[in-house]
Every structure is written in C-alpha cells, then in structure tokens.
Amino acid sequence: MAVKTEKIQYNQLPRPTFRWMKVNHLELDPLKAQAAPAYTPEERHDGDAAVIFYEGNQMPGLGDFQGSNAEELQKALNQANSGCAVSVGENQKGSVHLKYSLSEAMPQLTAQLKIEAAAHSDLTVYLEFDGSADDGSVNFLTYVKTGEGAHVKVSKVQLNGENVRHVEHRYGDAGKESTIDYVSAELGGKAAIVYYKTDLMHDESNFNSQAMYLGHDDQVVDFSYWVPTQGVKTNTDILTTGALLDTSKKFFRGTIDFLRGGKKAVGSESDTCILLSPKVHSISVPLLLCKEDDVVGNHASSAGQIDKDKLFYLMSRGFNETGAQLIIVESNIRPVIDALGDKDLENKALQAVREKMQFCRKKGDCHAKCTQRFPHLD
Amino acid sequence: MADNKEKLVDQEKEKLVEQKEEKIAEERQKIDTFADFGNMYNFKKDFTYSYKTDAGLTEDIVREISEKKHEPKWMLDFRLKSLDIFNHMEYPDWGPDISELDMDNIVTYVRPNAQMKADWNDVPDDIKDTFDRLGIPEAEKTSLAGVGAQYDSEVVYHSIQDELVQQGVVYTDFDTALEKYEDIVKAHFMKLVPPTDHKFAALHGAVWSGGSFVYVPAGVDVSIPLQSYFRLNAPGAGQFEHTMIIVEKGAKVHFIEGCSAPKYNIANLHAGCVELFIGDDASLTYSTIENWSKNMYNLNTKRAIVGKNGTINWVTGSFGSHTSCLYPMSILQGEGAHCEFTGVTFAGKGQYLDTGSKVVHNAPNTTSNINSKSISKSGGVCIYRGSVVINPPADGAKANVSCESLMLDEQSQSDTIPAIVVKNDNIDLGHEASIGRISDEAIFYLMSRGLSEDEARAMLVRGFVEPVSKALPLEYAVEMNNLINLELKGSLK
C-alpha cells in the first residue's frame, strides 16, 4: 500500500479566499533530503562593499516573517550550508556579484544572504543561480536592511536545471527615505518559488520589484509579494511579466497592505502574462488591502495570446511566425532584463529566453527554417 | 439708454444668483429629506406567529418543518441529508468572522399569522401595513407584472398579471411550486447550489422555507419586472427562502428582489438560495436591493447557469446587514453565453460586507463583464472578493473585471481580493482595481461652483455609483439613491 505523503504548502496568501479555486497556496510533494557539504559561492565585489562568509545562523530576528514555507524557512535559518553577509558603510557605494551553482556533489543549497546598507549608502548585489542535480533544491533566505536614505538593488538571474526546486524567502526592512529595488529573471528550475515580504514602516520608503519569467514544459513559477506599508508617503511598485509555453503554470500573488497611518502612500501592482500554448495555466491573485483612506492603490492583471495585429505586422515585414513570436515575447520581458544592470547577467538571461523559446520550437519542424533565417537565435 | 442696459445686466445677474441659490437649496433639501428615510425600513411589528420551531438545529426540527409543510418524502430525505452535511462540514476558513453567530439561538422556522393570498385586502392588517410602508402594493400597481411578499418564513401574498398567465408564465411561491410542479422542482432543486457547496448551503438545504418560483416558457418576453420582497420581522430568527427561476429558450424576464428587517439586539440570519436556469438565447436580469438590518448575518448563495447565447445580468445594491457574504456566481455553459455584473456595496459603522462576483467560463466565445463599486465609511469594512475562471473549453472567451473602492474616512477599511484562473491560451482577460478616497481637487472644483463640502461629496458619491443606478428601473434607482443619501447623512467630513 502506497504511503500518503503530506504535501508542502508554499506561498500562502496573507488573506485567503475561496477554497475551491485552489489559489491560496501552492502545494508540492516534499523533496528527498540529501546530504550537502558546506558551500561558498563564487564572489567578486567592487567599491566599498564588504563581504563575509560565515557558518551557522547570523540572521537577525525576522519578527513574524514566515517565508514561503515556515518549515523551509527554519531550515534556512538553522541548517544553512552557506552563509554570506554583504554590507556597506554610511555614504559608501559598492557592488557584489555572487554565483551559486548546484552540482551532483552539491545537490541542495540551503543558504542565507544578509544585506545591510548603512545610511545614505548605495549597494547593488548581483545574484546568479545555475547548475543542476537530481532532486536538487535551493532554499535561499535573503534579508535586506536599508538605513536612512540608502539604496539597495538586488538583481537576480535564476538558471537552475530542470530537476531543481528553487525556493527563495526574501525579507526587506526599508529605512526612512530608502529604496529597495529587486530585479529578477526567473528562468530555471522545475519549480521557481519566490516569496517577498518588504516592510515599508518608515516615511518615504520605497519598494520596487520587476520580475520576468518564461515557463516551459511542466515548470511552475510562483511569485508571492506582501508589502505592508505604514510609513507616510511610501511607494510600492510591483511588476511581473512573462510568457508560458507547453504545460507550464504561473501563479502571481501580490498583496499591497495599506495599514492605518500610512498616509499619502502609493502602491501599484501589475501582472502580465502571454499565453503561448493551449495547456498553460495562468493564475493571478492581486490583492489590495486598505485601512487608510489617504492612499492611492491600483492593480492590473492581463492574460492573453500574442496580439495578432503585432504578429501580422512583423510577419508582413518578412519574419516567420516563430521569429515574430520571439520578438514580441522578448519585447515584453526586455525592460526587466535590461534593468538587471549587468551585461553578463543580461546576456545570460536573454540567451536562456531564446533557448527556451527554441526548446519549444524544436519540437516542431519550423526550427531549421527559423534558425536559418535568424542565426542569432540558435 | 446706458442706464437701462446696466439695469438689465443687474437684473440678469440677480436672476442668476437667485437661480444658483435655489439650486443649492434644492441640493440641501435632497439630503435633509432623507432624515426619516431609515424609518421606512426600521420599524417593528409585534412578533406574532401561528407556529414556530424551537431555536437551534436538530433532526426533529427539520422533520417538523417538513411535516408542517406536507412535503413529499424525497424533500424530507433531502433535508436530512443536508443536515448531515451541515453537521460534518467546517465553517469557511476565509472571509468575515462569524463566530458570534450561534445556530443554537436561531429559530429556523416562523410561520406568520396569515395564509398566502392573492389580494392585499385579505392579508392581515399588520402584515399588509408592513408592506404598504415598504411601498410594495403601490409599486405593484405602477411598475410590476407580479409580486411575491414573504413575511418571516412564509409567503403571504403572491400575484401575477393574467396576461402573463395566459402566456404560460408561472410566478408563484415555492411551496405551491413544489406541490404543482413537483417534477420540475425535483429536477432543479439545489442542483446548481448543492448542499455540499458550503456549510450555509447545507443549512439552507436542511431548513429552507418560502421563496419564489418563476417559469418563463420559450420565446416569452416578460417586459415588466416581477418582484419578490422578503421581510424578516421575528427577532432571533432565520430566513431561508429558495428562489428558482427557469427561463426557457429565447425568453426574457427581469426579476427584482428586495429585502429588509427591523433592527434587534440579537443576531438574525439570512441564508437564502437563488438558482437561475437560463436557456439558449434567453435573458434574465436579476436585480437586488438588499437593506437588511444591521444585526443580520446575510450568508446568501446565488448562482446562474447560462445556455448558448444566453445572458445573465446581475444588478445588486448591498447596503444592510451586520455581516454579508454574497458572491453571485455565473456559470457560462453554452457557447456565446454572457454575464454582466454591476454591483455597489456601501458599508457603514459596524458593518462587514464581503461581496463580489464569480464567473466560470465553460464554453467557447463566452464573455463576462464585472463592474463593482464599494464605499466604506465610519469604520465600515467593504471587501470585494471575486473570481474569474476560464476553463480549457472556453476558446475565445473574454473577461473584464473592474473594481473601484472609495473610502470616506480614515476609520474604514476596503480590500479587494480578486482571483483569476486561466486555463486556455485563446482568451482575452483584463482586470483592474483601484482604491482611494474622494479627490480633493474634485471637491474643490464643486465647492468653487457654490456647493458646500457635504453636498459636493454627496454628489461625487452619487456619481461614483451611477453605473449601478442606471442599470436599475427608475423607481429602484431612486430607492438606491435614497439609501445612499441616508447612509451619507451626517457622516461626511
């Protein structure tokens, strides 16, 4: 008799809704636990940024932050095989590149990344994830703390292999007049699950997130955001855009939580999805919770096929359908890739997009024609 | 000559000023007029009845209700099965807090001191007076083709124009329908909203009583609306009416539902159920002005299934209740079926109104358009909770959702919780929502034109809900505007 295994629930919606829709969380089978050695990522840094690698848990208290899944978060806190602290001092500026690679020798990464920017500093952290392993997993906790007037940008390109479950819990605490910027390209993994919570409790603090994805095969991409705002004149801007191929699924759960006292706050969230196959699933749950009247909150969500007029126009200019589709998808996600701010990461993300589009196309007979006409796509 | 010209200009100016003052006085009067409007709904009659069950929910009570109504056995079995589901089902783990609602204190069946009549003169005076004060007999004379009036658990008056009867239209109370059209009722009863749907659907299946049954034969256009009005007078009681409307191929009807109750210090419960079956090329407009008292838990379920090229048009105004959970659902089952939802929710002090709309696209080229507005004030909580599901067969489906929330002060709360699931690529879906307060610029503009701040705000709120009032017949649009004025009175900063 088969033993029934309990599923793991990721990315619980802060305010659940109808159960029959099955959108309140993502449910996946548990992963097989594997031994993983201590791990140090590839690293380089510029300017005034300081980087320290550590063992054990050096995270500060995270309050009621539950992460994508409370148990997974506890593992990242107490059983991490990689720890890294990045910081800049007051009025300093710097950048750090970190690359985390999975392999059969290092199939499971459980890691902490602590980013602290002192007052009026400017710090950019570039994160790259790649590599694969059977039943591989990434369980990554990122903590971002900005001092008054500081600016932190985290640019991430995730290119894990097709057997990897990539989970990231990201908690941000934005200081007065500071800004936390996230730019993410979630392109790899069998499941890419990201949970971002950023507290905007201080006046004029800002949170911006741009994320893109391209789902293929039976990949699951799950974005969850929760931004409680209580500071005066805070600004929240969440943009998620991408496309789905084959039988892939995308979940977007965005919650902007305007708390009482957060006057003059502005928040917007947008989720755009291009549907490239009849069997894809696009799920969108954009929440606006509002206990303060003096705010402006907006959300927008759209899903549909590629605009036929655009396709016709490009094809009338000599592109075949595949080439035209690729151009349109690229134009949709390109602003996010361009915002990564690092040429090497941008190229890797772009290359991954093109490979994925062709991975799909290779299944048809149009691939040869397409690559003959557009050799740069191969 | 020049003097005469100046004199004429002065006279013209004076005239303009007078006109402006008259206009302002008119606006002021509009708001003041509604000082007593609330009394129209919040008046109590002595609690008299011919029979009532004990408070609480037991198998004996369910059997008692069925026996009193002389129901067929299948209905009793259905009730008992529903009771079993109710006893085993969990309360929802989302939505408003309903922990203060204690089913042990709710009386599920109260039969008034009246039999159902087809002439208002035969209805007992105190009950007739209730409906007179609510304006129902008057509306029947001027703008309705049929009226049903329910008092507590039973229907006390039902009528329909002869012309419609001759065309084969049936509009009757649900007990009569169960007796006369048992096969139709059995084939449809709680098929759209099965008792397993949620705990309060199960409760409804167990203790339902009263309600209306409408049958419109193929091709018949009922051009004048039908209205059912539900009045709950008994303190601590529940109302569980069942409404079933079957609109056959190519037929058309507009059904209006109204409800109210006086306010008591103990909780009342409304767990009605509405099932709408709309055939191919048929059209149904279902309008609701809900103004339950502020001690009412309104946990109602409404659902429509729409055939090929059919249309369901929901128009709802939710003003009353202590707590509401109301999400009319449209299942677009036939190719080209269409759903239109236009709703406004107004939550004041102590109210938690969790409302919205659900649409399921199950067939090609189906379309839906959801337009929801909400206003919260004086600590009231308005939640828009909606869902759009586009299933794989719905090739070419189009869905559009727009929800706007207005907060009139800093004590209130307004949330939007939409969920969208798309399982087909050949679709077009758009969703947008916004939350905020009345723009200071707009108030400034109106005040610069001579309106006071209160008047300017009231005018902007009326403008905000205009899409809903425009969708209602004139008399009901006026009623809705009156309710809005009543809600706004004294609350504007």
ipTM of the complex: 0.89
B180 pLDDT more than 90: yes
Q: Quick one: pLDDT at residue A267?
A: 96
Closest by Cβ to B435, choosing from A273, A278, A288: A288
CB contacts, 8 Å: A16 with chain B: 93-94
Question: Cα distance from A56 to chain B (closest Cα, Å)?
Answer: 37
The alpha-carbon radius of gyration of chain B (Å, integer) is 24
CB B57 within 8 A of CB B75: no
In a domain, A19, yes or no: yes
CB contacts, 8 Å: B385 with chain A: 17-18
Domain shared by A122 and A268, yes or no:
yes
Which of the residue ranges A148-152, A215-219, B459-463, B471-475 has the most confident prediction, judged by mean pLDDT?
A148-152
The span from the CA of B454 to the CA of B359, in Å, is: 38
Q: Quick one: pLDDT at residue B34?
A: 38
Burial class (CB in 10 A: 0-12, 13-18, 19+), A99: middle
B345 pLDDT more than 70: yes
The pLDDT of A208-229, averaged and rounded, is: 97
DSSP A79: S
Question: Cα distance from B92 to chain A (closest Cα, Å)?
Answer: 8
Q: Which two tokens stand for residue A301?
A: 């969500």
Domain shared by A14 and A137, yes or no:
yes
In a domain, A343, yes or no: yes
Q: Quick one: pLDDT at residue B26?
A: 61
Q: How many CB atoms lie within 10 A of CB A338?
A: 13
Q: Which two tokens stand for residue B263?
A: 């306010």
In a domain, A81, yes or no: yes
The boundaries of the domain holding residue A142 are 8-305
C-alpha A277: how far from chain center: 23
Q: What is the DSSP string of B180-226?
A: HSHHHHHHHTTTSS-TTS-HHHHHHHHH----EEEEE-TT-B--SPE
pLDDT category of residue A374 using cuts at 50, 70 and 90: very low
Nearest C-alpha neighbor of A191 from the set A15, A360, A29? A29
In a domain, A365, yes or no: yes
Chain A contact present for B389, CB below 8 A:
yes
pLDDT category of residue B123 using cuts at 50, 70 and 90: confident
| Record: contact B435-A258, CB cut-off 8 A | yes
In a domain, A1, yes or no: no
CB B308 within 8 A of CB B269: no
The pLDDT of A272-299, averaged and rounded, is: 93
Chain A contact present for B194, CB below 8 A:
no
Number of Cα atoms under 13 Å in the Cβ half of residue B5: 2
CB B427 within 8 A of CB B396: yes
Cα angle, residue B65 at apex, residues B60 and B66 outer, rounded to 5°? 100
Its pTM surpasses 0.90 = no
pLDDT category of residue A368 using cuts at 50, 70 and 90: low
Q: Which tens digits make up the pLDDT trace of B281-335?
A: 999 999 998 888 888 999 999 999 999 999 999 999 888 899 999 999 999 999 9
Q: Quick one: pLDDT at residue B493?
A: 41
Domain shared by A103 and A174, yes or no:
yes
B-chain residue closest to A283, CA distance: B421
Residue that finishes a domain, picked among A253, A287, A305? A305
Sequence letter at residue A176: K
Q: Which two tokens stand for residue B205?
A: 């299946």
Chain A contact present for B413, CB below 8 A:
yes
Q: String of b and e for B266-285 (b: at least 16 CB within 10 Å)?
A: ebbbbbbbbbbbbbbbbbbb
The more confidently predicted of residues A295 and B137 is A295
The pLDDT of A246-261, averaged and rounded, is: 96
Mutate to test the interface with B, among A229, A244, A301, A325 (most CBs of B within 10 A): A301
Q: Write down the mean pLDDT value for chain A.
A: 92
The span from the CA of B338 to the CA of B353, in Å, is: 26
Mutate to test the interface with A, among B422, B429, B439 (most CBs of A within 10 A): B422
pLDDT category of residue A184 using cuts at 50, 70 and 90: very high
Domain shared by A21 and A147, yes or no:
yes
Q: Which two tokens stand for residue A321?
A: 């359908």
Domain shared by A280 and A343, yes or no:
no
Q: Quick one: pLDDT at residue B44?
A: 64
The pLDDT of B105-131, averaged and rounded, is: 81
The more confidently predicted of residues A346 and A36 is A346
Q: Quick one: pLDDT at residue A56?
A: 93
Residue that finishes a domain, picked among A244, A274, A305? A305
Beta-carbon contacts of residue A44 (< 8 Å; ≥ 6 apart):
A96, A97
Domain shared by A322 and A293, yes or no:
no
Closest by Cβ to A302, choosing from B405, B423, B429: B429
B-chain residue closest to A282, CA distance: B422
Domain shared by A314 and A299, yes or no:
no
B13 pLDDT more than 80: no
B4 pLDDT more than 80: no
CB contacts, 8 Å: A279 with chain B: 392
| Record: contact B431-A18, CB cut-off 8 A | no
In chain B the first and final C-alpha atoms are separated, in Å, by 51
In a domain, A99, yes or no: yes
- Kindly report which listed range (B27-36, B306-315, B484-493) carries the lowest average pLDDT score: B27-36
Domain shared by A250 and A326, yes or no:
no
Coil, strand, or helix at residue A319? coil
* Residue given tokens 């940008």 in the structure block: A153
Mutate to test the interface with B, among A224, A226, A276, A282 (most CBs of B within 10 A): A282
A360 pLDDT more than 50: no
Q: Which tens digits make up the pLDDT trace of B426-478?
A: 999 988 888 888 888 888 899 998 888 888 888 888 888 887 777 777 667 77
CB contacts < 8 A (A, B) = 132
| Record: contact A287-B415, CB cut-off 8 A | yes
Q: Quick one: pLDDT at residue A88?
A: 98
The more confidently predicted of residues B441 and B490 is B441
- Helix ranges (H only) for A24-162 are 70-78
The pLDDT of A226-254, averaged and rounded, is: 96
The pLDDT of B358-382, averaged and rounded, is: 95
The span from the CA of A257 to the CA of A21, in Å, is: 22
Domain shared by A264 and A127, yes or no:
yes
In a domain, A321, yes or no: yes
Chain A contact present for B439, CB below 8 A:
no
Closest by Cβ to A304, choosing from B408, B410, B429: B429
Q: Which two tokens stand for residue B145?
A: 């083709």
Coil, strand, or helix at residue A246? coil
Residue that finishes a domain, picked among A305, A330, A355? A305
Domain shared by A280 and A313, yes or no:
no
DSSP B336: T
Q: Quick one: pLDDT at residue A365?
A: 47
Q: What is the crossing angle of helices B2-32 and B453-464, to 10°?
A: 70
Q: Quick one: pLDDT at residue B46?
A: 67
CB contacts, 8 Å: A240 with chain B: none
Chain B contact present for A308, CB below 8 A:
no
| Record: contact B433-A277, CB cut-off 8 A | no
Query: Which runs of E-coded beta strand occur in B423-475?
Result: 428-437
Domain shared by A223 and A241, yes or no:
yes
In a domain, A353, yes or no: yes
The DSSP bridge pattern shows strands A220-229 and A249-258 to be parallel
Q: What is the DSSP string of A255-309?
A: EEEE-TT-TTEEEEEEEEEEE-STT-EEEEEEEEEES-SSEEEEEEEEEES--HH
Q: Which residues pair with B275 in a beta bridge?
A: B244, B303
Q: Write down the mean pLDDT value for chain B.
A: 87
User: CA dist B362 to A276, B38, B332, Å?
Assistant: 20, 43, 6
Q: Quick one: pLDDT at residue A378?
A: 42
- Structural domains counted in chain A: 2
pLDDT category of residue B232 using cuts at 50, 70 and 90: confident
Q: Quick one: pLDDT at residue A149?
A: 98
pLDDT category of residue B25 using cuts at 50, 70 and 90: low
Domain shared by A212 and A236, yes or no:
yes
Coil, strand, or helix at residue B166? helix
Q: Which tens digits make up the pLDDT trace of B184-223?
A: 999 999 999 999 999 999 999 999 999 999 999 999 999 8
Question: Cα distance from B437 to chain A (closest Cα, Å)?
Answer: 6
B2 pLDDT more than 70: no
The span from the CA of A322 to the CA of A305, in Å, is: 14
* Residue given tokens 């201080």 in the structure block: A202
Chain A contact present for B405, CB below 8 A:
yes
Q: Which two tokens stand for residue B190?
A: 């709680």
